[in-house]
Amino acid sequence: MESRNGLLTFGIFVLLAVFTFVFCLDALAVPNTTYGVLALIGYVVCIAASLFNGFTSRKNGEALGVWFNSYGVIVSIVFVWYLTRCGSAFKWW
């Protein structure tokens, strides 16, 4: 993956994370199951795709691998926050 393509992919991932976070906030503010499921799918896609791109970039010796993996960790932290908020909203704990 070239640098420009990697940066474009990284930018698309950031945009996807922003939309996912907006869906997550809307699902938590107003009980909207559709937005909640979209946020859940968005977080899983963000994490899986960023870790896949991070590991393949690192295997090819590109510097963007660190950025993709860092992005995956940050999105994972926000995903855990979302899951805990959903758990307390559904009174699972």
- pLDDT tens track for 19-71: 999 999 999 898 888 998 999 999 999 999 999 999 998 888 888 888 999 99
In a 3-state reduction of DSSP, which class is residue 41? helix
Of the given ranges (11-20, 27-36, 75-84), which has the lowest mean pLDDT?
27-36
90 or 79: which leads in pLDDT: 79
How far is Cα 83 from Cα 91, in angstroms, rounded to an integer? Answer: 12
Identify the pLDDT of residue 2: 58
The reported pLDDT for the residue numbered 60 is 84
pLDDT at 12 over 80: yes
The whole-angstrom separation of Cα 24 and Cα 48 is 18
Residue 92: pLDDT above 90? no
Look at residues 73, 86, 90 and name the one whose alpha carbon lies nearest to residue 24: 86
Asked if residue 81 has pLDDT above 90, the reply is yes
Residue 48 carries which side chain, given as an amino acid letter?
Answer: A
First to last CA, the chain: 44
For the chain, give the number of residues: 93
